[in-house]
Amino acid sequence: MEALDSRFLPASVRFAMHLLAQLYEIRWLLLTALIGLYVANKYRKYDRLRHFDGPFGTGWSELWHTQVILGLRSHLAYKNVNDLYGSCFDQRSDSATLRANAIRPYRSSRA
C-alpha cells in the first residue's frame, strides 16, 4: 500500500494535519501545564478555607464527602464533625434575616 501524498490533499486538511503533529510534539508540555493549573486552582481554594477546622484532606479533595454520602449515613457524620469541630456558621446573629429584609423590590425605570 502506498503512502498518501499530502500534495493532493486540500490545504485545510494539510493545515489540520500539521497542527495535530505540532500538538503531538508538545503533548508533555501541555499535560504538565494542565496539571500545574489544576494544582494551583486546588491550592487557591484550600488557602481560602484553611482557617476552618475539619476532617483531614477535606480542603484538598471531595473523598471524605463522597465516602460519607455513599455510606448513606451522612447526617450522622456531619453531626459528628459539627460536634467535634464546631459550627462554621454564626447562629447568634440574624444577619441573614436582616440582609433578606433589606432587599428592595424591583422598580421599573420607566415610571
What are the extents of the domains in the chain? 1-51, 53-87
What tens digit of pLDDT does each residue of 6-35 get? 777 888 888 898 999 999 999 999 999 999
Q: pLDDT value at position 1?
A: 46
What is the C-alpha separation between 68 and 71, in angstroms, rounded? Answer: 5
What tens digit of pLDDT does each residue of 89-105 get? 555 555 555 555 555 56
The count of other CB atoms within 10 Å of the CB of residue 106 is 5
Indicate the burial class of 91 (C-beta count within 10 angstroms; 0-12, 13-18, 19 or more).
Answer: exposed
Listed residue (39, 55, 31) closest to 47, CA to CA: 39
C-alpha dist (Å) from residue 106 to 21, 90, 103: 56, 30, 9
